[in-house]
């Protein structure tokens, strides 16, 4: 059993130039097939990786986890200094509520943020979420009551739901 090199070659397209003629020679396929040719030519025709855009998406993807973890070192001291609890042993419960509300609200806001990004585009939703998250973190830092701390963390968590829109950029 002999194998025809012009048909079974890995670089030969399934159909020849006419669409159905498989009996064409390998030299005629080289001229019309983009797969066959000089590899250096193919590399020069390909687009370079958009590093600037990729780095900006990576930085935006880092904002939400940083916003979530940023308060961990000082939230316990903030609760004690603001007079929310007098017993330092009870600080863990109140700080746990504040810390977990961000993740809970992010979970709740993922679908609405995804739907909004489909309707209005990813860029406006991601920018709104990032700016809103920064503003909510500033307001959390200056809040003096437990209710204000909870409200700012809930708002930050809802705006942190735009993380799904940012991570969707990696799938493209």
**What is residue 165's predicted lDDT score, i.e. its pLDDT?**
79
3 state SS of 2:
coil
Task: Tell me, yes or no, whether 81 and 151 share the same domain.
Answer: yes
Rg (CA), the chain: 28
- Cβ atoms within 10 Å of 35's Cβ, excluding its own: 11
**What is residue 145's predicted lDDT score, i.e. its pLDDT?**
94
Task: Tell me, yes or no, whether 34 and 115 share the same domain.
Answer: no
Taken in order 56, 62, 64, 69, the sign of the CA dihedral is negative
Task: Tell me, yes or no, whether 94 and 159 share the same domain.
Answer: yes
Query: Could you give the number of structural domains in the chain?
Result: 2
77, 86, 169 from 104: Cα distances, Å: 23, 27, 23
**What is residue 58's predicted lDDT score, i.e. its pLDDT?**
84
Task: Tell me, yes or no, whether 24 and 77 share the same domain.
Answer: no
161: domain range? 51-171
Task: Tell me, yes or no, whether 37 and 89 share the same domain.
Answer: no
**What is residue 169's predicted lDDT score, i.e. its pLDDT?**
66
**What is residue 51's predicted lDDT score, i.e. its pLDDT?**
83
Render pLDDT for 113-158 as a digit per residue (tens, 0 to 9). 889 988 998 888 888 999 999 999 999 999 999 999 999 999 999 9
Task: Tell me, yes or no, whether 63 and 117 share the same domain.
Answer: yes
Task: Tell me, yes or no, whether 16 and 80 share the same domain.
Answer: no
Burial class (CB in 10 A: 0-12, 13-18, 19+), 165: buried
Which residues of the chain are under the pLDDT cut of 50? 9, 14-15, 19-30
pTM recorded for the entire structure: 0.67
């Amino acid at each position: 059993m002999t194998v025809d090199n012009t048909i079974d070659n890995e670089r030969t397209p399934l159909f020849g130039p006419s669409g159905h003629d498989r009996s064409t020679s390998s030299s005629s396929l080289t001229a019309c097939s983009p797969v066959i040719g000089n590899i250096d030519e193919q590399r020069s025709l390909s687009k370079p990786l958009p590093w600037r855009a990729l780095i900006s998406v990576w930085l935006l993807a880092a904002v939400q986890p940083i916003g979530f973890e940023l308060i961990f070192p000082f939230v316990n001291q903030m609760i004690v200094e603001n007079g929310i609890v007098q017993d330092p042993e009870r600080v863990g419960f109140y700080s746990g509520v504040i810390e977990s509300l961000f993740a809970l609200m992010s979970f709740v806001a993922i679908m609405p943020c995804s739907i909004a990004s489909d309707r209005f585009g990813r860029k406006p939703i991601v920018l709104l979420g990032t700016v809103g998250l920064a503003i909510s973190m500033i307001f959390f830092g200056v809040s003096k009551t437990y209710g204000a701390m909870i409200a700012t963390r809930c708002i930050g968590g809802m705006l942190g739901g735009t993380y799904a829109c940012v991570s969707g950029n990696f799938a493209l």
